Amino acid sequence: MRFTLLAVLLSTLHLPASASYIYPSSPDPVNQKHIDLFRANIAKYKSPQFLAFPASTMAMPCEVPPEKLYPLIGLGMALKETKAEIDKQGAKLMRKMGMDMESDHTYSDIRIEPLRAQCVNGKLDGEAEFLVSHSAKMMTKTRVDMLGEATDMTSTMSTKNVSRYQLQLKEGELAGESIVVQLVDAVNTVEYSSPAVKKMMASAPKLPPSKSLMVLMNNSQGHMTTFNEVPSVKVTKGLFMAGVDTGVALQTTLTIPVAPGYVRSLVFMDKDLLGSSGYKNGKPHGEHILYSDNIYKTLGQKLDRQVGMENVKEVVINGKDMLETRNCFINGEQVKVATCPAS
Amino acid sequence: MKRILAAALLAYGAQAQCLDIKNPYRFTCRQGDCVNGEGTVFDGYLSISMSGAWRNGETIPGVTYKLSSARVPGARMEQVYGADGLLASGDMPRPKAVGTKMAMFRGKYVGIEHPFLKVKIPVPSTAVYDTGFGVEYRGRFEFLPAKSGIHTTVSSGYFIFFGEKVDTVDGETETGLYVSGETLLGMPVGFMKAEPSYLIEMQKRYQRDMQIAQSDFAEIESDQKWRSALAVVGQVAFAMASGGTSLSSSMKNVAGEMVMGMVGDMLNKDPKSVDVRASAQRAAKAATEDQAMSDALAMAINEGISTSKKSQ
């Protein structure tokens, strides 16, 4: 399931031929090993050969039905029953959050080639490696007010995905360490039902096609580390107006088990902490803290004059002016309390 | 010809609160007579149409107004206004959202002072908040105004609710205390379960904001006075420029003296205590005793003050 969810993670940036990343330090030694492993192998992961289908491939060593195989290789949502259940849960969550959006996610052109795999008693067992490619289309539709009339807006993200899964399996289930390297080519389009809005938006800048690399490493005890190359955006105060500097950064997410059923997720942009969030049995629980650049200070504006800043305060971290936002969750629900529970 | 409406705000807020709102950038009369008769007004901020009877471009107490939205054509909403021009009962839609659903309050409203905007606004008291997604909050509501409105001029604040949260789809009911984050005029309200102790935090923040607001109010008042003063300066300069070469250099010197006298007043005194018109008149009197020049300067002062009032 985690591979299914991660299969739709995207960032948007062209891959440079070589990138000099800045890495965070992990408070947990298992995640630190992941960081060291990524650092040692990034050149290999980015090489074209790593995600290329070989000229000749081996056959699956035994019959593995899609409902057993697909969840192992990030294709759980391609299963009708899994998709129906996730769509139902998703719709319930959107309803409770007051969000009104139709969405659909479809898969096509699925190709799965084992590079290494063996079966014991009719089930995949031991070390296995798969190359997987597929196309996906995620469509969301909503209605907006524009130019004084209602118009339906349909956003579509079309992707071509190639992934390499290095797994350790026991009796057909994940066990031990696994590594996933995924390259995604994405194209985004937006359609409007109103001819007037369509005409107005025709000249608006479009999102360019993107290519992004994601690497995920985890063990079966709850430690997980993901690496995403993302655009970095910094707001600067120009002479006449605010400016924006763009570059490339490495977003690293560490998932660290803290107590039975409870994990903490730390997100870093290069070596700077972006956020810290708790999850109990998969649901947000405890304090969720976010950090961002204090653009208001950069632009000479006061925080208390902005809307919705009741949970935000100005802090200085390693000499940088930052904004810290704190929200509290209890068993998946955001709450307002004087003291947020620790776990 | 389109008429400008004085009232017809559909939700509480800012300059709103009813009656003397003549904002051509926000309201347009789409059909009929929106001044003294039956007509349909379109609120461009909320994207809502409102049909009913109007008197002097204002709502009539006790009359039912029918509301509609192009984004949610199936939503049927009605409002009744009080003698003070504020919404008294009916529906308060929250239309500034996307999608095919309309969130709204349904019930009774009371008028409260928004201390940061310095206007009276209607807020729900005993009502139902319908999210539009089958979740309803049924009970008592309170509203705590937020400070950001001083600078945005759009009303915002925090809703506090005690009563039943009913999920009409799943058939679940919970009773308790819920609060929202800062919510702008017309936006859907997101309620979160709250502990009573959190209300103390909200009250402390409100008191802090009231203290900070005093200096914000002083700054705004000072800004407004400077605008008036600069408008007078501009008008005097325009008058001098329009006079061309026929103006004597002594007249130009007098104008310069007058302007510097007035600016000196603004810089050296507490802006709160400065009366821009009186200051300009004093400076003009000190600059010249010539009647013709005095008259020209007096006209420029009046024009400048009038121009700055229109732009505020």
Q: What confidence score (pLDDT) does residue B184 get?
A: 94
Name the amino acid, one letter, at B305. I
By percentage, how much of chain B surpasses pLDDT 70? 86
**Coil, helix or strand at residue B187:** coil
pLDDT at A163: 98
Are the Cβ atoms of B71 and A150 closer than 8 angstroms? yes
| pLDDT computed for residue A12 by the predictor | 39
Please judge whether A145 and B205 are an interchain contact, meaning their C-beta atoms are less than 8 angstroms apart. no
For residue B304, what pLDDT is reported? 82
Q: H-helix or E-strand containing A167?
A: strand A149-170
Q: Which residue of A has its CA nearest to B178?
A: A336
Question: Which of A6-40 are b and which e, b meaning 16 or more Cβ less than 10 Å from the residue's Cβ?
Answer: bbeebbbbeeeeeeeeebbebebebbbbbbeebee
pLDDT top residue among A92 and B260: A92
| Shortest distance, CA A311 to any CA of chain B (angstroms) | 9
Q: How confident is the model at residue B244 (pLDDT cuts 50, 70, 90)?
A: low
- Per-residue confidence at B227, pLDDT binned at 50, 70, 90? confident
Q: Indicate the pLDDT class of residue B268, thresholds 50, 70 and 90.
A: confident
- Mean pLDDT of all residues in chain B? 83
ipTM over cut 0.90: no
Size of interface A-B (CB pairs under 8 A): 97
What gap in Å lies between CA B152 and CA B117, rounded to an integer?
A: 10
Q: Which of A144, A145, A310 sits opposite B182 (nearest CB)?
A: A310
Q: What is the pLDDT of residues B179-222, one digit of tens each?
A: 999 999 999 999 999 998 898 889 888 988 898 888 888 887 87
> Which of A336, A337, A339, A340 best probes binding to B when mutated, by most B CB atoms within 10 angstroms?
A336
Which residues does chain A have within 8 Å of residue B167's beta carbon, measured at their own beta carbons? 96
Residues of B in contact with A145 (CB under 8 A): 47, 70-71, 95
Specify the DSSP class assigned to residue B168.
T
Q: According to the model, what pLDDT value does residue B218 have?
A: 81
What is the chain B residue with the closest CA to A140?
B99
Contact criterion met (CB < 8 Å) for A144 and B98? yes
CA of A306 vs chain B CAs: smallest distance (Å): 6
Q: Give the per-residue pLDDT at B88.
A: 96
Q: Which of A145, A304, A306 sits opposite B47 (nearest CB)?
A: A145
pLDDT at residue A134, as a whole number: 97
Distance CA B154, CA B141 (A): 21
A338·B201 Cβ contact <8 A: yes
Q: Which of A150, A306, A338 sits opposite B70 (nearest CB)?
A: A150
The answer, yes or no, to whether residue B1 has pLDDT greater than 50, is no
Q: Which residue of A has its CA nearest to B160?
A: A336
CA B254, CA B295: separation in Å to the nearest integer?
A: 12
pLDDT band of residue B312 (cuts 50, 70, 90) is low
Query: When comparing pLDDT for B263 and A12, which is higher?
Result: B263
Tokens of B113: 């002072």
**Residue B7's pLDDT band (cuts 50, 70, 90):** very low
- Eight-state DSSP code of residue A332: T
The pLDDT value given to residue A17: 38
What's the pLDDT score for residue A185? 94
Asked if B70 and A145 come within 8 Å (Cβ–Cβ), the reply is yes
* C-alpha span between A10 and A158 (Å, rounded): 11
- At A242 the pLDDT is 66
> Could you tell me which residues come within 8 angstroms of residue A84 by beta carbon, excluding any fewer than 6 positions away?
none
Residues of chain A with confidence (pLDDT) below 50? 1-18
How close B9 comes to chain A (CA, Å)? Answer: 17
Q: Do B103 and A307 touch (CB under 8 A)?
A: no
The predicted pLDDT at position A76 comes to 92
Distance to chain A for B94, nearest Cα, Å = 12
Nearest by CB to A338, from B135, B151, B195: name it: B195
Predicted confidence (pLDDT) at residue B257 exceeds the cutoff of 90: no
Nearest to A338 among B132, B169, B198 (CB): B198
**What's the distance, Cα to Cα, between the start and end of chain B in Å?**
26
Helix, coil or strand: residue B304: helix
Q: Which residue of chain B has the CA closest to A145?
A: B71
A119 and A66 Cβ atoms separated by less than 8 Å: no
CB contact under 8 A, A307 and B156: yes
Distance from the A152 Cα atom to the nearest Cα atom in chain B, whole angstroms: 9
> In angstroms, what is the C-alpha Rg of chain A?
22
What does DSSP say about strands B156-167 and B183-184: parallel, antiparallel, or unpaired?
Answer: antiparallel
How many angstroms away from the CA of A97 is the closest CA of chain B?
Answer: 8
Residue pair A229/A13 in contact by the 8 Å Cβ criterion: yes
Name which residue leads in pLDDT, B86 or B300.
B86
**Interface residues from chain A to B (CB-CB < 8 Å):** 95-101, 142-145, 148-150, 153, 304-311, 330, 333-338
* B214: chain A residues, CB-CB within 8 Å: none
Give the pLDDT score at A239. 61
Question: In the structure encoding, which two tokens stand for residue B185, read together?
Answer: 């005029």
Cα separation, A179 vs B17, in Å, equals: 60
**Helix ranges restricted to H, A184-288:** 195-201
**Residue at token pair 């926000």:** B26
Q: Give the pLDDT score at B283.
A: 80
Measure in Å the smallest separation between the Cα of B255 and chain A Cα atoms. 33
Residue B250: pLDDT band with limits 50, 70, 90: low
Least CA distance to B103: which residue of chain A? A98
pLDDT for B246 equals 53
Put simply, the answer to whether A100 touches B200 (Cβ < 8 Å) is no
For the ranges A130-139, A192-201, B9-18, B153-162, the lowest mean pLDDT is seen at B9-18
Higher pLDDT among residues B263 and A8, named by residue: B263
Closest approach of chain A CAs to the CA of B153, in angstroms?
11
pTM comes to 0.80
